Structure 1
Amino acid sequence: MVAIILSYRDAPRTQRCVLSALDEGVDGVVIWDNSDDGGESAGSIEVCDPRVELIVSPRNLGFGAGVNAALAYMQTRWPGAAALLLNNDATLRPGGLSDMLAHLRADTVVAPGINHAGEAVFLRYMHRCSGAQLVRPMTGAFAFPSGACLLLPPSLSVGPLFDEAFFMYGEDVDLGWRLLRSRHWHVKSTGTVLVDHEVAASSGRRTHFYETHVAASHWLLATRLATGPLDRVFLKLCRGIYLLARALVRSLREHSAMPWRGLWSGYRLAVVRDREHRRGL
C-alpha cells in the first residue's frame, strides 16, 4: 500500500499528511510536488523516512496529471501495489487505513467517510443536468468518490487514472461516472469517518483561481457526462444556466465581480484544455 500525495507550496500541511500515512503503516509514500517554484517549497518538506519518495515536477501539472504521473512513478518502485490517494490538506485518523483495507477488493474503489471541515461526507452525488453536488442521492444524480481520499485496487493503481483535461476540480466526478458506466468496478463507502480534510486549503474559495477552475470543470463535465450529441447540447445548456445563477449569487453575496470573471476565464480555459487533451489523444 503506497500513499500518493500532491503538494503545492504548502510544506506544513504536506508534512502532517505524510506523517499520518506513515503512522498508519503504509509501505511507501510518493510526494509529487507541483509547486513550480524551483524546488523551494519541496525543500521545506522533511523527508526522513526511507519509505518516502519526493518528486519535484518541473511545472505544475494540475491534480489529475500530477496523480497520473505519481502513479506511474510508484509502479517503478512498488510494482503491483495498491494506491491510497490522499490530499495534502487531509490526514488519516488512527486505524483509518486498516478499516479501508478491510473493504478493499480487486474490483472495488474504497471511499472512506471524510470530515470535510466539520461536515461528515461519505459519498457525494452529482446531479448530471444541473451540476449541483449533493450529500444524499436523488433522481438524476450519481455517486462519486471524493478525490480528497480514496483507496484504489492494484489494477487501477497503474494510471492514467484521471482525465488530464481537468486541472483541478471535477476529475473525481468524471472518474465516478466512468466507474459507473464501466460496470466492472464498484465504489464502496466505509460508512465511518476515517479522514479529516480541510476544504480548498490550497486554492481558497474567494480567489480568481478557484472561480476559474470550478467553472472550467463544469464545462468539461458537460461534455464528459453526455451520452450522445443531443445530450451534450442539453447538458451544456443546463450547466450554462447553473453557472450563471451561481456567479450571480456569489457576486451578490461577496460584493465582488470575481465570480463573473472566473466564469468567463473558466469557459475559455475549458475550451483550450479540452482541445489540447484531444490532440494529445
Structure 2
Amino acid sequence: MLDAIGSLYADCAASGLNADVYVVDSASSDGTPDEIRSKFPQVKLIVSATNLGFSAANNVAIRQIMANDPPPVVYLLNPDTRTHPEATQRLQRHLLSDTRIGLVGAQLEYADGTFQPGAFTFPGLRQLWTEFFPTPGRLIEGRFNGRYPRAWYKLGVPFPVDFVLGATMMLRREVVEATQGFDEGFFMYCEEIDWAWRIHDAGWQVQTVPGALVTHFAGKSSAQVRPQMLIQLWKSRLRLYRKHYPAPKVLAARLLIVLGMALKLRQTPAGAERDAYRTIRDLASGRG
C-alpha cells in the first residue's frame, strides 16, 4: 500500500500533475491507516470498520470525488501496485485525446519484471473451459482464452480492448457520471468486467496504453484464502454471465462451472470442502 501511494505521488510530481489521492481502508488490522497518516498526511483517508469488498470500497471514494467539482478523470489504482515514471501522465493524455475513449488501463508487469496481460476480451465459454480443463498452452495464451497478441503490446501503441484489469483504471468524469461506478453486487472479481461492459454499451471505447507501465504484485491477498476466493470467483463469474448473456449461454456456463469446480475440489483443503460442495449444489440448482 505505502509503495503504491509513494510511487503514484512521485510520478505525479515528476509529470507536473495535480492529484488528490483517496485511500479506502476496509477494516485492516495491520496498522495501515496509522502508517498512511504518518507518511502521507495529505492523503484523504477513508477508514471503514467492515470489509466493504472491492466494488463498494471503490465506490465510496468515487462518490466523494464526484460530490464537489469533480476532476476531468478518476484514476483507480490497486494497493498492490508500483507506478513507473510517466505512467499516470500517459494514461491521462491518451484518455483525453479522444472523446470516444471512456476508460484506459496501463501495461502491467509482474514483480519480477515479466509481462502480465492487463487487457482481455469479454469472457465466454472458451475461457471457462481453459480455466478448468486441460488445454494446449498456445490456446491458453491466445485469443481462445481472451488474450490479445503480445506483439500488439510491443508496438507501444494504444489499442481498443473489451476490458482492462481493475488494477489500473482511469476513467473520464462523464463516464463515471453516466455509468455510476461498480455494481456492488460483485463483492470481489468480475466487477471491472461488468463496468467495462456497461461503458461499451453506453457508447465509449476501452483501451490499453502499453507506454504506461505499472508493476502489479498480483494475487498476494487472495493467495492467503484461496479456497474461499475460488468459490467467490465462480459465483461472480456466473453472476456476470446472467447479467450480460442470454439464458442458453448462462445454462452452458453453469454446467461448465459445476463440472469444473467438482474437479477443483480435489485440490481444496479439507476445511473448505463443505463450503465448496454447498456452492456447487447452489450453482447446480440455480441459486448460486
Where on the TM-score scale, by shorter chain, does this alignment land: which range?
0.7 to 0.9
CA distance in 1, matches of 2:145, 2:25: 40
Aligned CA RMSD, in angstroms, stands at 3.3
The structure 1 segments of at least 4 consecutive aligned residues displaced by more than 6 Å after TM superposition are: 139-142
Distance 1:220 1:259, change over 3 A: farther
User: Please, which runs of 5 or more residues in structure 2 have no aligned partner?
Assistant: 13-17, 132-139, 148-160
Which structure ranks higher in relative contact order (CA pairs < 8 Å, sequence separation ≥ 6)? 2
Work out whether 1:103 is the aligned partner of 2:94.
yes
**Number of the residue aligned with 1:246:** 260
User: Please, which runs of 5 or more residues in structure 1 have no aligned partner?
Assistant: 1-13, 275-281
Normalising by structure 1, report the TM-score. 0.76
Question: When the two structures are aligned, how many residues end up with a matched partner?
Answer: 252
Distance 1:130 1:185, change over 3 A: same
CA distance in 1, matches of 2:224, 2:263: 14
For the pair shown, the structure with the greater C-alpha radius of gyration is 2
Distance 1:211 1:21, change over 3 A: same
How far did residue 33 of structure 1 move?
A: 0.8
Distance 1:27 1:95, change over 3 A: same
Contact 1:120–1:193 at 8 Å: present in 2 too?
Answer: no
How far did residue 214 of structure 1 move?
A: 0.4
2:52 aligns to what SS in structure 1?
coil
CA distance in 1, matches of 2:190, 2:63: 21
For residues 1-281 of structure 1, the aligned pairs below 5 Å read 14-25=1-12, 26-35=18-27, 40-49=31-40, 51-76=42-67, 79-105=70-96, 106-108=99-101, 109-116=103-110, 118-132=114-128, 136-138=142-144, 143-158=162-177, 160-182=180-202, 184-192=203-211, 194-204=213-223, 207-226=226-245, 231-232=246-247, 234-252=248-266, 254=267, 256=269, 258=272, 261-262=275-276, 264-265=278-279
CA distance in 1, matches of 2:282, 2:254: 13
2:189 aligns to what SS in structure 1?
coil
1:24 aligns to what SS in structure 2?
helix
Cα deviation digits, residues 222-251 of structure 1 (max 9, x gap)? 21112xxxx22x233222233234324433
How far did residue 81 of structure 1 move?
A: 4.0
Distance 1:58 1:135, change over 3 A: farther
Normalising by structure 2, report the TM-score. 0.74
Q: Which amino acid aligns with 1:16?
A: D
Give the percent of matched residue pairs that are identical in Structure 1 and Structure 2.
22
1:42 aligns to what SS in structure 2?
helix
CA distance in 2, matches of 1:198, 1:267: 34
Contact 2:262–2:280 at 8 Å: present in 1 too?
Answer: no
